[in-house]
Amino acid sequence: MFVSEAAKKRDPRIVPLRDMFEAYCQLDTLADVIEVDLLSFSQLNRWLVSAKVIDESRVTSTDAFLCFFQFKKRAISYDEFLIYLEDLADTKELSLSRVKYKLQTCGKPPEPTHSSSS
């Protein structure tokens, strides 16, 4: 992937996609309680907005939901998430690698407040 000089100067921290997925899964109370990494649409939407994939002009929350709806589940696994990204990129004519890059460089969400820490 081509990285511009301006991008190199900003040097965003690139977090592995699976790590980002797991971080957003932990924001869901149910997934955190049962210790399963499943991503609900509400958390996925939050991530897509944070990464500026959803911009309400080219890609809307409705577009994102319609791609998510195909799974007919409350939450999706990491493998399903990868399929979701391919579908969203294809449907909205986006660069899949660019979408993944945005998701990896937007920064992890704050720690959930429902988890106990010592």
- Residue (of 41, 33, 27) closest to 80 by Cα position: 41
d(CA 112, CA 114): 6
Residue 56 has a pLDDT of 83
At 84, list the tokens. Answer: 């979701």
pTM of the entire structure? 0.81
If we measure between CA atoms, which residue out of 107, 112, 117, 114 comes closest to residue 14? 107
pLDDT at 111: 78
SS3 for 75? strand
Q: How many CA atoms lie within 13 A of 31 on its CB side?
A: 21
pLDDT tens for the chain, 118 residues long, are 454 555 545 556 899 999 999 999 988 777 666 667 899 999 999 999 999 999 988 999 999 999 999 999 999 999 999 999 999 999 999 999 999 999 999 999 987 665 444 4
Q: How far is CA 70 from CA 35, 77, 97, in A?
A: 24, 14, 22
